[in-house]
Amino acid sequence: MASGAAADAVGVGQAMIVAGVGCRKHALAEAIAAAIDMSLAGAGLARDRLGAIATAAAKQNEPGLVETAVAFGVPLIAVEQAALEAAGQHAVTRSERVMALTGVPSVAEAAAIAAAGPGARLVARRTALGPVTCALAQSGEAS
């Protein structure tokens, strides 16, 4: 499984879809995959459009996240707290509980936006499925 910094998420001249994921500790890979698939389907996107999964650096070693990234064949991008907070200013979903726990209004949205890079935009707001939240962002570069 590849892990990378948010700046490594986007290749030159290539738009990419990033799934930002927030989850409870020990969330199963099946639950994470189902949340990502639900978000992709809701946005009318096929799974092969997914370029990366992003999450808070604090969650980067969660087995379910690692397993899902490997199963999907995409890198798992660990977004550092400062980048999450900066991207969180662009989140549209606001959870006071998540804000109190993590310092951002939506981990899923902030991680997706941060990892998709400059000019990223949300293509799917945060949705929740059991212990997992997922949001999708598209990189700002044209395909």
Pairwise CA distance, residues 114 & 42, whole Å? 21
Domain spanning 3-138: which superfamily? CobE/GbiG C-terminal domain (3.30.420.180)
Cα distances (Å, whole numbers) of residue 10 to 5, 41, 128, 129: 10, 22, 26, 27
Which amino acid, 60? Q
Q: Look up tokens 């998540």; give the residue.
A: 98
For residue 106, what pLDDT band results from cuts at 50, 70 and 90? confident
The separation between the first and the last C-alpha atoms of the chain, rounded to the nearest angstrom, is 25
Structural domain boundaries of the chain?
3-138
Strands 132-138 and 76-79: unpaired
Pairwise CA distance, residues 60 & 63, whole Å? 9
pLDDT at 143 exceeding the cut of 70:
no
Strands 17-23 and 121-129: unpaired
Report pLDDT digits (tens) over 18-68.
999 999 999 999 999 999 999 999 999 999 999 999 999 999 999 999 999
Report pLDDT digits (tens) over 64-82.
999 999 999 999 999 998 8
